[in-house]
Amino acid sequence: MSASATGPAFELLQANPGGSPDGHLRLLDEHGEEFLEPFDLVQTLAEVLAESGHRAHAYDNGWIEIGDDGLFAFPQLAEFTELDNGVIRTASTIQCHHPRCFPLGLFEYQHATGEGFDDAVRRGFGQWARTDLIALLDATRVEPEACMSMRLDFDGEDGSKARSRRVVFGPVAHFGQAPAEQAANPDPDEDAEACEHGFCPCCLFTQSLDAFRPLLQAEGVFALRLFASRDHHDGECQADCRVNGEDWAPGLASLQAYAATWPSTAGQGLEFRKQYVIVQDAPD
What pLDDT is stored for residue 1 in this prediction?
A: 44
Average pLDDT of the segment spanning 72-81: 96
- Per DSSP, the three-state class of 189 is helix
Residue 223: which domain range? 148-281
Same domain, 160 and 257: yes
Predicted confidence (pLDDT) at residue 34 exceeds the cutoff of 90: no
- Residue 237, in any domain of the structure: yes
From CA 256, how far away is CA 263, in angstroms rounded?
Answer: 14
Same domain, 163 and 258: yes
Same domain, 80 and 159: no
Predicted confidence (pLDDT) at residue 202 exceeds the cutoff of 50: yes
pLDDT in tens, 145-199: 999 999 999 886 666 677 899 999 999 998 886 544 443 444 433 343 333 335 7
- CA-based nearest residue to 275, from 211, 210, 203: 203
What pLDDT is stored for residue 191 in this prediction?
A: 40
Residue 253, amino acid: A
Return the higher-pLDDT residue of 155 and 70: 70
Q: Which of 81, 98, 130 is the last residue of a domain?
A: 130
Q: Which of 130, 156, 180 is the last residue of a domain?
A: 130
Tell me the pLDDT band of 27, cut-offs 50, 70 and 90.
Answer: confident
Mean pLDDT of the chain: 88
Same domain, 152 and 183: yes
Q: Which run of H or of E encompasses 177?
A: none
From CA 129, how far away is CA 64, in angstroms rounded?
Answer: 13
pLDDT in tens, 127-149: 999 999 999 999 999 999 999 99
Return the higher-pLDDT residue of 248 and 32: 248
Q: Are 124 and 80 in contact (CB under 8 A)?
A: no
Reduced to 3 DSSP states, what percent helix, strand and coil does the chain have, rounded to the nearest 5?
25, 35, 40
Q: Which of 78, 97, 130 is the last residue of a domain?
A: 130
- Residue 244, in any domain of the structure: yes
Strands (E), 19-63: 22-28, 34-40, 56-58
What pLDDT is stored for residue 160 in this prediction?
A: 66
- Residue 12, in any domain of the structure: no
- Residue 26, in any domain of the structure: yes
pLDDT in tens, 214-261: 999 899 999 999 999 999 988 899 999 999 999 999 999 999 999 999
Same domain, 186 and 240: yes
| Residue environment code for 237-268, b if the CB has 16+ CB neighbours within 10 A, otherwise e | bebbbbbbbeebeebbebbbebbeebeeeeeb
Same domain, 102 and 157: no
Count Cβ atoms within 10 A of the Cβ of residue 280 and give its class: 0-12 exposed, 13-18 middle, 19 or more buried.
Answer: middle
Same domain, 257 and 155: yes
From CA 279, how far away is CA 127, in angstroms rounded?
Answer: 21
- Residue 177, in any domain of the structure: yes
Report the number of distinct structural domains present in the chain: 2
- Residue 11, in any domain of the structure: no
Predicted confidence (pLDDT) at residue 35 exceeds the cutoff of 50: yes
This prediction's pTM: 0.87
